[in-house]
Amino acid sequence: MKPNALALGYPVITSGQHAHKESIKNLLGEEIDIFSQTVSLELQVNKRVPPAFIWHTWYDAAVPVENALLFAMALRKVDVPVALHIFTRGAHGLSLSNDQVYGPDNLNARSDTARWVDLFSDWQRQL
């Protein structure tokens, strides 16, 4: 089974220099040295990977933005369509980044990252 598309929000998808180390450790346990390259998705890309929609924030303090950038560049190298949206502001774990999630007085709710939902909707309609 192959998905028709990927939708990734602040993804943990590299195990290299820019990894979210705790997630990789939780995933691989003591086998980190053996399997770390296997879970670095930018190293697994080929033409069979489906089109991807990726969004991230530039200053995500939990998951480095390089996770999104490395994967997008790998997709580009094999000509897999990718929509990459990097927002300047916003913390990790923004979800919908709107008043319903954060309340009207929270700075995350006023961030432009809430646009990712509409951007994704537009993108997936074009598939």
The DSSP call for residue 60 is -
71 Cβ contact list (under 8 Å, min separation 6): 8, 11, 13, 14, 41, 42, 45, 52, 54
pLDDT digits (tens, 9 = 90+) for 8-39: 999 998 887 777 677 677 676 777 676 777 77
Q: How many residues does the chain have?
A: 127
pLDDT digits (tens, 9 = 90+) for 33-58: 767 777 788 999 999 999 999 999 99
pTM of the model: 0.84
